[in-house]
Chain A
Amino acid sequence: MKLKGCDILIEALKKQGVETIFGYSGGAALHIFDALYKFNDAHKEDGIQFVMTRQEAGATHAADGYARVTGKAGVVLVTSGPGATNCVTGIATAQMDSIPMVVITGQVPSNLIGNDAFQETDFVGVTRPIVKHSYLVHHVEDLARVVREAFHIAETGRPGPVLIDFPKDVQIAETEWEWPETVDIRGYKPKLDGHRRQVRRAADLIMQAQRPLVYGGGGIVLGDASPEFREFVWKTQIPTTVTLMGLGALPETDPLALKMPGMHGSRAANYAFQDCDLIIAVGSRFDDRVTGKLEKFAPNAKIIHIDIDPSAISKNVHVDIPIVGHVKRVLPMLTEMVDKTDVDAWRHQCAMWKERYPFRFEPKTDVIKPQQVIEEIWDITRGDAILATDVGQHQMWAGQHYQHIEPRRWLTSGGLGTMGYGMPAALGAQLAAPDDLVVCISGDGSIMMNIQELATLATEKLNVKTVILNNNWLGMVRQWQELLYEERYSASDLHDNPDFARIADAFGVKGMRISHPDELRPALDEAFAHDGPVVMDVMVDEMENVYPMVPAGAALDEMVGGLA
């Protein structure tokens, strides 16, 4: 059957199993939006849901949140030029955190490309460094294959965003509609199985180590390998730290869990890094926020590194045993070759650190401590909520003070650190998991970056609970200025904040403002029970800092603060 490009795109998305698209319309995408309308008109029961966010950045973050919860590529559809460029931050966010995403942008007609036509942007060019791959569809005959490949590339290997730039004339060009059942890209064959001999060597090293440490990362979550990861940890009984991106890979209530490492990580995890004689890195990448000063990082440790991306290995640190492969396949092989490690003294040492140095804060009777809000949320939900965060102090407190139990329930922009990510990501998560409690932890700075998405929450009736830890500052910036710039608070004061509860009201979202510690628990209970989205503006202690902290240029065991 001959179809137009725009119809083929929708048919192909359907074939691909896409249920939800996030986006925003415009001139160069109108054919596609029309095709979607007609498709849904003809498929009343099994159409494709389109969620119109109120800005394209919101659409990309929502697709990202959707992808983090489902594991499937989030799909974005926008117009050319400004529609496309508004997606840049969301695409870069997804790329940095290896989130599968397919972004479809309308483009001006082929014959106008390069002419500075109205709303023309060389978007393949703009996004080249921030995508896993990209396509400009020149011929309608290529379209079905391009869609098939785009999803394959986005979702396999080390996942990431893929762009399909789709010129307007190609959208109405006709060709035979045929779905390619298989994909074969000769330059793209991710290596899945680890090298058996390397795995053997790793197993030997693990059994010989006196002070081994497991360092798990986002790759475990992305690779749906938490069960395999837990089995490995539980069988070997090796103390384990999981990064900000990997939270939930191992329940943090587990005795072996040392909580997250790094700049605002736990002393237990950081001390363990500095003292261990073997690091077993699983789907983690030795990010500079984790390692502290690289030259002083883990001075006594040999390193085993399991990752699907060869380029992640030996990039920042020298690796003794590299294993390229899918963690879900490599871990069972490794688990089979090892036993419980005979390292009681070391386990005891780690447990001591953990007990001695928990994340702590001093509750007050007259002012709400931000950490207290997170701990109350934990107490109510017992790890059962999906948490999305923005970026800043509140993000670190949410990482520290919540007990992360399961994977794909913690959505945070770790790599790019994108303020404005949280609420739209929560929106996407709520669509992916309609029956779950989705909480967005935000700051009074971050929330303003995509506050327009309250309209989407209201329209789509999504019960996201947004909790603003309002300190009237760009808190994380203020903290650095306090500690490193002699309290010169340059461009970080937000005391002229608007009234967020009233803003919420105006959007048709329940708004609440809480200032006293006694009000906190009842207000949270009320908000979580409310049938609809809520914005809670929680006034917290303004000058609270995130501790402990590894100062810039220091080693992990030179952490400051956070002691009793």
Chain B
Amino acid sequence: MMAAEATERRHIISVLVENQFGVLARIASLFTGKGFNIDSLTVAETLDPGLSRMTVVTHGNVAVIEQTCKQLNKLVDVVRVTDLTDEPHVEREMVLIKVNAESSHRGEIIQIVEVFRSRVVDVAPRTLTVEMTGDEGKITALVNMLRPYGVVDVVRTGKVAIGRGNHAVVRESAGDSVAAG
């Protein structure tokens, strides 16, 4: 194996699945059973209520990612697997940050929030809750900026992603594996 192939990389994989009882369990059990990593996983219904989309962020070397995609494809409930990593795509994540905000600091915090184009969604006597959507780097930057004030809690959704341009990830053509040779 060449060095580049052996290096681990982060991948973002879009998985279209039947919106059915037990599908999430099947996918989760595949990842644990085969020893694949899940960094984050989101799932929700698509335009077609019969289908759900999962966005899985995972990491591994080329061979591991190829096996991950193939094994996902092998599940009967999986309609389509697309590795978006090297495709032009947009990825977003939402975060909710609860930060200590004594009145002396409130102004500064709100300024930071504005610079990041995020917003305050809850105000309490000693805390503010901030919501932001963005890519990973931006979210991490915001969390780092707020840290000095005392971050009480952070909840992130995990990533969702969509291909750029006219091309849809959901197409009616099913079953043909993107990763298969």
Measured CB to CB, the residues of A under 8 A from B are: 124-125, 128-129, 132-134, 136, 138, 153, 185-189, 191, 198, 309-311, 313-315, 318-319, 322-324
Q: List chain B residues, Cβ under 8 A from A318.
A: 1
Known contacts: A125-B25, A129-B33, A311-B70. The answer to whether A188 contacts B175 by CB under 8 A is: yes
How many residue pairs at the A-B interface have CB separations less than 8 Å?
64
Q: List chain A residues, Cβ under 8 A from B18.
A: 186-187
Residue of B nearest to A309 (CB): B74
| CB-contact partner of B79 in A128, A187, A324, under 8 A | A187
| CB-contact partner of B25 in A128, A132, A188, A310, under 8 A | A128
Residue of A nearest to B68 (CB): A311
Q: List chain A residues, Cβ under 8 A from B70.
A: 310-311
Q: Across the interface, do A310 and B181 meet the contact criterion of CB distance under 8 Å? A: yes
B155-169: CB near A (< 8 Å → 1, else 0) gives 000000000000000
6 pairs of residues in contact across A and B, judged by CB atoms under 8 Å: A128-B25, A136-B22, A153-B76, A187-B18, A187-B175, A319-B181
**Is B66 at the interface (CB under 8 A from chain A)?**
yes
Residue of B nearest to A312 (CB): B70
- Find residues 67-82 in chain B having any chain A CB closer than 8 Å to their own CB: 67, 70-71, 73-80
**Is B176 at the interface (CB under 8 A from chain A)?**
yes
**Is B152 at the interface (CB under 8 A from chain A)?**
no
Most B Cβ at <10 Å: residue of A153, A185, A198: A185
**In the complex, A138→B21 CA distance in Å?**
10
| CB-contact partner of B180 in A133, A188, A310, under 8 A | A310
**In the complex, A186→B74 CA distance in Å?**
12
**Is B90 at the interface (CB under 8 A from chain A)?**
no
**In the complex, A134→B22 CA distance in Å?**
10
Known contacts: A318-B1, A319-B181. The answer to whether A310 contacts B175 by CB under 8 A is: no
**In the complex, A125→B24 CA distance in Å?**
12
Nearest-neighbour CB distance to chain A for B72, whole angstroms, equals: 9
Nearest-neighbour CB distance to chain B for A549, whole angstroms, equals: 29
Q: Across the interface, do A310 and B78 meet the contact criterion of CB distance under 8 Å? A: no
Measured CB to CB, the residues of B under 8 A from A are: 1, 17-18, 21-22, 25-26, 29, 33, 63, 66-67, 70-71, 73-80, 174-177, 179-181
Other A-B pairs, 8, CB within 8 Å; known A189-B174, A319-B181: A133-B76, A185-B76, A186-B79, A188-B175, A191-B176, A191-B180, A310-B74, A311-B73
Q: List chain B residues, Cβ under 8 A from A129.
A: 29, 33
Nearest-neighbour CB distance to chain B for A296, whole angstroms, equals: 15
Q: Across the interface, do A314 and B76 meet the contact criterion of CB distance under 8 Å? A: no
Please list the 3 inter-chain residue pairs (A to B) with the smallest Cβ-Cβ separation, ordered nearest first: A322-B181, A189-B175, A311-B70
Known contacts: A310-B73, A310-B180, A319-B181. The answer to whether A186 contacts B174 by CB under 8 A is: yes
Q: Across the interface, do A187 and B17 meet the contact criterion of CB distance under 8 Å? A: yes
Residue of B nearest to A324 (CB): B180
Q: Across the interface, do B175 and A186 meet the contact criterion of CB distance under 8 Å? A: yes
**In the complex, A309→B181 CA distance in Å?**
11
Q: List chain B residues, Cβ under 8 A from A128.
A: 25-26, 29
Q: List chain B residues, Cβ under 8 A from A313.
A: 180-181
Q: List chain B residues, Cβ under 8 A from A186.
A: 18, 79, 174-175
**In the complex, A405→B179 CA distance in Å?**
38
Nearest-neighbour CB distance to chain A for B17, whole angstroms, equals: 7
**In the complex, A315→B34 CA distance in Å?**
12
Nearest-neighbour CB distance to chain A for B142, whole angstroms, equals: 39
Q: Across the interface, do A187 and B78 meet the contact criterion of CB distance under 8 Å? A: yes
**In the complex, A431→B173 CA distance in Å?**
42
**In the complex, A323→B181 CA distance in Å?**
7
Known contacts: A187-B18, A324-B180. The answer to whether A311 contacts B67 by CB under 8 A is: yes
Known contacts: A310-B70, A310-B180, A311-B74. The answer to whether A124 contacts B22 by CB under 8 A is: yes
**In the complex, A315→B179 CA distance in Å?**
13
Residue of B nearest to A187 (CB): B79
Residue of B nearest to A310 (CB): B180
Q: List chain B residues, Cβ under 8 A from A309.
A: 74
**In the complex, A188→B77 CA distance in Å?**
8
Nearest-neighbour CB distance to chain B for A136, whole angstroms, equals: 7
**In the complex, A138→B26 CA distance in Å?**
18
| CB-contact partner of A188 in B17, B33, B71, B76, under 8 A | B76
Residue of A nearest to B66 (CB): A314
Nearest-neighbour CB distance to chain B for A332, whole angstroms, equals: 21
Q: Across the interface, do A187 and B75 meet the contact criterion of CB distance under 8 Å? A: yes
| CB-contact partner of B177 in A136, A185, A310, under 8 A | A310
Nearest-neighbour CB distance to chain A for B5, whole angstroms, equals: 9
**In the complex, A318→B6 CA distance in Å?**
13
Q: List chain B residues, Cβ under 8 A from A323.
A: 181
Nearest-neighbour CB distance to chain A for B49, whole angstroms, equals: 14
Residue of B nearest to A129 (CB): B33
Q: Across the interface, do B174 and A187 meet the contact criterion of CB distance under 8 Å? A: yes
Q: List chain A residues, Cβ under 8 A from B26.
A: 128
Nearest-neighbour CB distance to chain A for B75, whole angstroms, equals: 7
